Structure 1
């Protein structure tokens, strides 16, 4: 699903990350909590929320966002933050009950009529040209997907997570909240595998995310999603290792100038994760001492 070079690079980075994790568990928890607002804002933005990161930070601090926003968007930010925080703190195994509990939290005071339950008979959903699974079979299909995920010991953890995410989104088990819960489950599965969370970004969703789900729906191929999640995992690993072990992190643009690297070259390397760059508040950063 990913080429040998990327696999070897990922394995080597995982070794460094696990060494850091063993000695700095508190730092890793603080990094995850520091990412909370950005994780929430990006996931909601994929679903067309108009809240900015600043708006989301204000909401999570108990304040109102700047400008006029629909009340639903405020609840979406608060509720997804609650679910994500619960994810970071729980060791409860992944199960249908946990998925339904998180969905109930996500849609609390937004859609109480459908919160915390799968779609029922007659509740069909459509996203563009894709029609979600027949609601009468949804519960069984999710159970089958979980069983397949737990039994998937032949592939890498990221590959298994990618397959499950694609299947979950194709089933579209809920009336509302499928994408956000699906992305929460990505990080639950990564966490259970001893890996850090990732942030699926909204900016290029029309070219780098949705097409991968569409391809799975028609071909059952999830290799594209595996590659995307692997890149995001590499970025997350680079970020945590740099923040914990480096004296200082700087903007990628400043690093490129100091090291005689053209800005577009540095940016392309960051996107391909061939240099240890990572995003904070959607800005590319890197350890100052990297050469």
Structure 2
């Protein structure tokens, strides 16, 4: 019988055989995990942002909605903490410390705030929640059976947290990563060292272990909250295997998703279309009803060439310079409908093309339907041949209401309305894909002895 941990090991092996992942596939998987973890971990604790609103916030910085500013701030802060534990995990020599855990609490809670509380006598009160400090008052939770479970006393927290760190360091490398991650989560929750944020931090620490072992994150769905708490309650009575198995099942989901991404498959799930449609409706609602739809024209093509293609040419030239050391020379070619120009520098050649040939073509009223940037390198220094190497191509297609960008190494094209430009990140995304494609080709040529 294959246990959950056995299946985790089998899937982990399958995933690692597919690595390294194509950059575009890696990017969409990273985005999926990032959104799923931030949305669900916060939703479990009562944050009311929808999945679509979470994406708009984290990807576009959109805070327009009917939620409190604190909910937006805490979602952003949680995202920062998630990225932080991933960075910590990359440094294999860096140990996990109590200070790290306090920093996580300080980050996700943003700043001190007042919260409703109940005194030991059962009276309602309000308490200032400090950030980054261990609790000063007892905390508890009411179980499903109605009993009140008291977490560690405030006076015991410092020594219990040090014991937790000592335990983690002693077991790291000996326990299965999923067991270690699940038990670190459980032991931390049993202490409940802070006045607020304990659940979120427990899931961040669990994923610190996953990242440290080069495994995808554990994502507890908010829709799974009842089963999640039930598994934790079973651990409270000594049945740790139930909770470990529950965590392993979530890891299996993440691994299967990662394998799909590595194979270039669709990683959308049932319900994802509804999320995307809701997000689209929100985006459309934010666009003015009076927005003018630009159509392909001489002025529009001139603007795209100036505001989109020229910046790409500059960044591509910077990237091409890094390849020059491997070759004897290079040549660039820029082509448009009925015209073109050759040169050595991509950015300088495009500048000349824009000012001279493109301007002349547009003045004549020539219908420009595409512009292509191409590069070739002559003779690879490390091998004995006279071959010219295709360094990649970036093509811009001009449709009636939008322009489209296709480039070597990028599986999906990028489409924009004519009044939309590209961000710096989008430009670097395009250039990096072409560069990675060319780099892989060079490595294959060298491995094959120049053939």
1:58, 1:65 within 8 Å by CA — same for their partners in 2?
no
Q: Alpha carbons of 1:280 and 1:166: their partners in 2 closer, same or farther (altered >3 Å)?
A: farther
Residue number in structure 2 paired with 1:146: 165
Tell me what 2:130 maps to: 114
Structure 1 counterpart of 2:225, from 194, 198, 205: 205
Q: SS of the counterpart of 1:127?
A: strand
Indicate the residue corresponding to 1:239 in structure 2: 257
Q: Which runs of 4+ in 1 moved over 6 A?
A: 250-253
For 1:188 and 1:281, how far apart are their aligned partners in 2? 30
Structure 1 residues not aligned, in runs of 5+: 254-278, 284-291
- Cα gap change, 1:65/1:110 in structure 2, threshold over 3 Å: closer, same or farther? farther
Structure 2 partner of 1:78: 76
The answer to whether the 8 A contact 2:44-2:222 is kept is yes
User: Compared with structure 1, are the counterparts of its residues 233 and 114 closer, same or farther at alpha carbon in structure 2 (3 Å cutoff)?
Assistant: same
**8 Å Cα contact 1:59-1:74 kept in structure 2:** yes
User: Relative to structure 1, is the Cα distance of residues 250 and 79 closer, same or farther in structure 2, using a 3 angstrom cutoff?
Assistant: closer
Structure 1 residues 62 and 241: CA distance shift in structure 2, 3 A? same
Structure 2 vs 1, CA of residues 250 and 58 (structure 1 numbering), >3 Å: closer, same or farther?
Answer: closer
Q: What residue in structure 1 maps to residue 21 of structure 2?
A: 24
> Deviation of residue 240 (structure 1)?
0.9
CA distance in 2, matches of 1:87, 1:250: 24
Q: How does 1:98-137 map to 2 (within 5 A)?
A: 98-109=100-111, 111=113, 114-120=130-136, 123-128=137-142, 129-137=148-156
Query: Which residue in 2 is equivalent to 1:264?
Result: none
Residue of structure 2 equivalent to 1:274? none
Match of residue 63 from structure 1:
62
C-alpha distance 181-65 of structure 1, shift in aligned 2 (>3 A): farther
Which whole-Å CA distance do the structure 2 matches of 1:136 and 1:54 have between them? 42
TM-score for the superposition, normalised by structure 2: 0.51
For the residues of structure 2 that align with 1:132 and 1:183, how far apart are their CA atoms? 18
Distance 1:31 1:252 in 2: 13
Q: Greater relative contact order (Cα 8 A, min sep 6): structure 1 or 2?
A: 1
Higher strand share: 2
The residue that corresponds to 1:269 in the other structure is none
- CA 1:38–1:7 in 2, change beyond 3 Å: closer, same or farther? closer
CA deviations 1:77-120 (Å, max 9, x no partner) are 11101111222233343221111111111111354951112113
Counterpart Cα distance in 1 of 2:22 and 2:86: 13
Alignment check: 8 A CA contact 1:161 1:190 kept: yes
Shift of 1:204: 2.3
State the shift of 1:189 in Å: 0.8
Give the Å deviation of 1:25: 8.0
Per residue, is there more helix in 1 or in 2? Answer: 1
CA distance in structure 1 between the aligned counterparts of 2:138 and 2:200, rounded to whole angstroms: 18
2:223 aligned with 1:187: no
What corresponds to 1:51 in structure 2? 49
Mapped contact 2:29–2:258 kept (Cα < 8 A): yes
> Unaligned 5+ residue runs, structure 2?
114-127, 143-147, 276-451
CA RMSD of aligned residues (A): 2.5
Deviations 1:34-58 (A, max 9, x none): 4222211100111122110111122
Q: Figure out how many residues of one structure are paired with residues of the other and give that number.
A: 249
TM-score when normalising by structure 1: 0.77
Q: Is the 8 A contact 2:4 2:245 kept in 1?
A: no
Shift of 1:155: 3.4
